[in-house]
Amino acid sequence: MARKTFVGKVISNKMTKTAVVAVEIPKRDPFYGKSIRNTAKFKVHCDTPVAIGGKVKIEECRPLSGHKNWIIKEVIKT
């Protein structure tokens, strides 16, 4: 089974080896058909420090702690 990947923006890097990444997930309203952007926040494991506002690609992985199930696969833009 393929692992989920998302591209998101780093909104916090104050924790040790952890960053919070916001991912916008577009959806269509089932009744009106209007596009809706839902924002999901993920706690992500990162060995190297990442700047706030940077664009990163994250990938699902095994549980690393109670809330961390994602790793940073690559830094797209700093």
Give 3-62 pLDDT, tens digit per residue.
999 999 999 999 999 999 999 999 999 999 999 999 999 999 999 999 999 999 999 999
The pLDDT of residue 47: 93
Pairing between β-strand 18-28 and β-strand 5-15 as defined by DSSP bridges? antiparallel
User: What is the model's pLDDT at position 78?
Assistant: 82
Going by the DSSP 8-state scheme, the letter that residue 15 receives in this structure is E
Q: Please state the φ and ψ torsions of residue 66, each to the nearest 5 degrees.
A: -65, -30
Strand segments, DSSP code E, in 1-78 are 5-15, 18-28, 35-45, 55-60, 70-77
pLDDT for res 45: 98
Q: What is the pLDDT of residue 1?
A: 78
